[in-house]
Structure 1
Amino acid sequence: MDWPTTTAEAQALQTQLAAQVLTQDDLALVDVNYVAGVDVGFVAGNRVARAAIAVLSYPDLQLREQSLATLPVTFPYIPGLLSFREIPVILCALNLLQRLPDLLLCDGQGLAHPRRCGIACHLGLLTQIPAIGVAKSRLVGHHAPVGENRGDWQPLMDKSEDKSETLGAALRTRPGTNLLYISPGHRISLETSLAYVLHCTRRYRLPETTRFAHKLASSPPPPLTL
């Protein structure tokens, strides 16, 4: 895989990929049996990336499979370009699974990105698996105040002088908790993304997919030899 090595190359690739993102529901979403959470942690002074994938059965959300992969980091930390640090190791973790999931819930942005190509878009395009961005913080856009009840949401908008664009949604998954920022990654609409995220969220703020993957990605690693 040809991988950018400079900021300019990475930004140009994101702009190119953004034109290929589909925000309509794919027929594959009619029969979703397995959903997966994707998370990446860093160890060894941020020199090594650890990608965790937790595959849950759907709709009962029972853990069925998980994988963990590590790779040296080859791209610097630059806001808006995090997918170039994380996707190589995520692809390794996907290759370790016995079967690929039907839907990916990524810990990061989808369409709600300065160049409309967050990690959920990038990963969805590379794998052709429908993907959703489930971010804990807002990167771009603005929204009206969101109600305090589970399921309350407001569109995440990007407004300029000549247009207004809906990038995603600010979603309340649990009363009294901070919002999540949901945006389509690839082959899925915003409305369907919200429905899947809400179904995957039970007693906590974060979806069960994200919680399982984050726990695996953050578990103490074995000693590393670099």
Structure 2
Amino acid sequence: MKINQRHEWSLSTEQAIAIQEQLSGEVITDDELKPNIEYVAGVDMGFEENGAVSRAAVAVLSYPDLQVVETSIAYRPTAFPYIPGFLSFREVPAVLDALEKLQITPDIILCDGQGIAHPRRFGIACHLGVIVDIPTIGVAKSLLVGKHQPLADVKGSWQPLIYKKQTVGAVVRTRTGVKPVYVSPGHRISLPTAIDYALCCTTKYRLPETTRIADRIASARGEVSIVES
């Protein structure tokens, strides 16, 4: 993949807020997807040397059978501290390095983090999607902003996530009897479609296979049958 870097990454929080506010205007929350989705990808991060080095992993899976067809790993010095609401500035630089190594360009990318369910409507899935101009979905393990009604315990159940009187995502039960995930559009995808793909990419685990496999690679846990770039 060829990636156009939009800005620098070594920034103050004030500069980061300005970039989020500027680029959030480019986020599209309507469906702009290929007619036939062939490849879905997950991205995730691990850290080495007490957080000084970022290890980004990308797993590309065929769709809808969810077989791993390509993976990529990239390392980069960590340039931004961990601050809630600014995850993309810490993680996206290494993720872009990993994406740039891919031979296969994914049709949708699922991120371990928020999309528009974010204080400035610009979580990591939005930031990544705007930069690479690929449809992205945020599938977070924890709530950042918003409130929701009680959720049924059955797989496939979901409730709107409301923040400042607007629907910014959904709390989704991906497995019966297991804690839900928080799905929100990143870029070039609507919330109903984001929920559908998050569920279609989920098999017997809580997380979609895309991000679950990327997490295993990023954290160097277990063996994955892959083709590594």
Measured against the shorter chain, the TM-score band is over 0.9
1:73 aligns with 2:66: no
CA distance in 2, matches of 1:99, 1:62: 14
Tell me the residue number matched to 2:14: 8
- Unaligned 5+ segments in structure 2 are 1-6, 222-229
Give TM-score scaled by structure 1 length: 0.93
Answer yes or no: is the 8 Å Cα contact 2:42–2:111 preserved in 1.
yes
CA contact (8 A) 1:4 1:10 kept: no
* Residue of structure 2 in register with 1:223 after alignment: none
Q: Which amino acid aligns with 2:180?
A: L
- What amino acid is aligned across from residue 191 of structure 1 in structure 2? P
User: 1:43·1:50 contact (CA, 8 Å) conserved in 2?
Assistant: yes
Alignment of 1:82 with 2:74, yes or no, is no
> How many pairs align?
215
2:58/2:214 contact within 8 Å kept: yes
CA apart distance, 1:4:
4.9
Task: Please name the residue that 1:94 is paired with.
Answer: 99
* 1-structure distance, mates of 2:157, 2:185: 18
Q: Paired residue for 2:46?
A: 41
Runs of 4+ in 1 over 3 A off after TM superposition: none
State the alpha-carbon separation in 2 of the partners of residues 203 and 73 from structure 1.
Answer: 33
Distance across 1 between alignment mates of 2:150 and 2:33:
34
Q: Is the 8 A contact 2:10 2:79 kept in 1?
A: no
Give 3-state SS (helix, strand or coil) of 1:126's partner: helix
2:154 corresponds in structure 1 to 149
Show CA shifts across 1:44-91 (max 9, x none): 010000000000000000000000000001111111101001111000
What is the root-mean-square deviation of aligned Cα atoms in Å? Answer: 0.9
Q: Which 5+ residue runs of structure 1 have no aligned equivalent?
A: 221-226
What corresponds to 1:123 in structure 2? Answer: 128
Matched position secondary structure for 2:9: coil
Shift of 1:27: 3.9
Quick one: percent identity of the two aligned structures?
Answer: 58
**Helix, strand or coil: the match of 1:36?**
strand
Deviation digits for residues 142-181 of structure 1, max 9, x if unmatched? 000000111100000013xxxx200000000111100100
2-side partners of 1:183 and 1:9: how far apart?
A: 25
Measure, in 1, the Cα distance between the counterparts of 2:43 and 2:17: 23
